Amino acid sequence: MARAPGCSVIDVENAGCRTPNKRRSLRALDFVNFFQADIQTGVGPFLAVYLLATRHWDPGRIGIAMSVQGIATIVGQTPAGALIDRTPLKRTLIVLASLIIGGGSIAMVHAHGLAPVIAVQVLIGLTAVVVPVAIAAITRGLVGNDDFAPRMGRNEAFNHAGNVSGALMAGVLGQWFAQSAIFYFAAAMALATAIATFGIRGRDIDHRMAREAAANGAENQPASARALLADYRIATFAGCVIMFHFANAAMLPLLGELLARHAPRDSSAYMSACIIVAQLVMAPVALLAGRLAATVGRKRTLLIGFGVLPLRAALYTSTNVPFLLVAVQILDGIGAGIFGVVWVIVVADLARGTGRFNLLQGAIMTGVSVGASLSNLMTGFVVRHSGYNAGFFLLGAIALGAFLMLLFAMPETLERAALEPLSAAT
C-alpha cells in the first residue's frame, strides 16, 4: 500500500493514517514546539531578577521561591508520563497545561508574599512537565517509527529557535518597558501554544504508536515495572543520562560566576551571549542529529554529544578571557543539541512493545532533574573550598565517566529495537 505524505510505513500498516496526509498536523507541531520553548518552565530565570529588583526580596526568600518549582517538577515527571501513556487526550493536556502556566505567569505579577508565590511556582512546576512528554508522544503517534528520528530533530530545532526569540524578546521587554512585561509575554506564548495545539488533528495520531504499545492486540496490557527493570539497557541508559546531566547542569552557572569575577560590569551581557550562542548552535545541530540517529545509529551520534562535555570543562580552565569563555559555549550547543534529540529516540527504542514510552520518559527526566540539582549543590561546595578550576575538573571527570559508560556498557538500539522488543507483562 502506498503511504501518504507525512505517514510512515508503520502508520499505513496499522491504519494509523486515516487522512490523505498529515501535513497540517505536522505544521501545527512546528508551531507548538516554537511557542512552548517560552512556557516549558514558566518565567524561569527572570523570576529571580523580578523578585530582587521589583519586590526587593532577600536572597533567602528568592532561593525558596526558585527551588520549589524544581521540586514540584521532580515530583510530577513520572506521573505525567504514566498519565500520557493512558490517555488519548494528549492535545487537551498540552492546552490545559499551557493555559495554567500562562495564568500562573500573570498571577506571579499580582501575587504578594512568599506563600502565594510558592503556590504559583508549584502549580507551574507540576503542569509544565506534561508539555514536552506529550509533544514527544504526539510526534511518535504522527510519524511512527521510520520518520521519528528526523522529526525529533526538527522538533528540537524549532524549540531552540523559540528559545532564542523568546530570550531576545524578554530582554527587550525588560529593558524598555518593565520586568513585569516578561510575565505577560510568557502568558501570550502559552496562549499561542494552546492555539497551535488545536491545529494537530486528533484523528492523525496513532495512540498505540504514541506509547509504543505492542502491535499484537495487547494494547491494554503494558509492561510491568518488573519487566522494565529487567532490561539492563534501560538502567544503563538512565545511568548515562543522569551522569551527563550531573556534569552538565552546573557548568553554565559556574561559568556565570567566573565571568562575574573577571568582567563584573559586563557579566550580564556575556551571560546572555553564552545562552544565545549555545541556542543558535543547537538548532542546526538538532536537525543533523535526527538524521544521523536514523542512519549511522543512536549510540554513535550520542557519543559525539557526550564527548564534547569533558572537553568543554577542560577548556573553561584554560583561559580567563570572557570572549573565549563565551566561544566555548559552541560546544554546549553541540552537546545539548544532540542530546535533546537522541535521548528521546533511544527511550522510544527501549520502550518498543511495552506501552510505557512516556512513563520511561518521565522516569528518566526525574533522574535527570535530581542529578542536575545535586550537581549545583556539590559543585558549589567544591568551588568554595578549592576554586573554580577544581569545580570544572570535577564536572569534566564525571562527564568522561558518562562517555565511557555509554561507549562500553550501552548497546546500539537502532538495530536491536526491531529484533529484541521487551515483551509486555502483567
Mean pLDDT by 10 residues, the chain (426 residues): 42 41 94 82 65 78 81 93 96 96 92 91 92 97 94 95 84 78 90 96 95 70 86 96 93 84 73 83 96 96 98 94 92 96 97 94 92 84 89 96 98 66 41
> What pLDDT is attached to residue 12?
37
**What dotted CATH number matches 20-209?**
1.20.1250.20
Q: Among 250, 252, 198, which residue's Cα sits nearest to residue 374?
A: 250
> What pLDDT is attached to residue 407?
98
CB 15 within 8 A of CB 203: no
CATH class entry, domain 222-416: mainly alpha
Q: Residue with C-alpha cell 492535545?
A: 91
Distance between CA atoms of residues 400 and 421, nearest Å: 30
User: What pTM does this model have?
Assistant: 0.86
CB 255 within 8 A of CB 383: no
CB 370 within 8 A of CB 226: no
The values of phi and psi at residue 145, to 5°, are -75, -50
Q: Which helix (H) or strand (E) holds 199?
A: none
> What pLDDT is attached to residue 38?
61
> What pLDDT is attached to residue 6?
44
Compute, in degrees rounded to 10, the torsion defined by CA atoms 193, 281, 6, 98. -10
Distance between CA atoms of residues 40 and 36, nearest Å: 6
CB 126 within 8 A of CB 261: no
**Domains 20-209 and 222-416 fall in the same CATH topology:** yes
User: Which sequence spans correspond to the domains of the chain?
Assistant: 20-209, 222-416
Question: Is residue 354 classed as helix, strand or coil in its secondary structure?
Answer: strand
> What pLDDT is attached to residue 43?
60
Q: Among 407, 156, 401, which residue's Cα sits nearest to residue 303?
A: 407
> What pLDDT is attached to residue 420?
45
Using the Cα atoms of residue 327, residue 330, residue 336 and residue 339 in order, give the sign of their dihedral.
negative
Per DSSP, the residues of 140-182 read HHHHTTTTHHHHHHHHHHHHHHHHHHHHHHHHHHHHHT-THHH
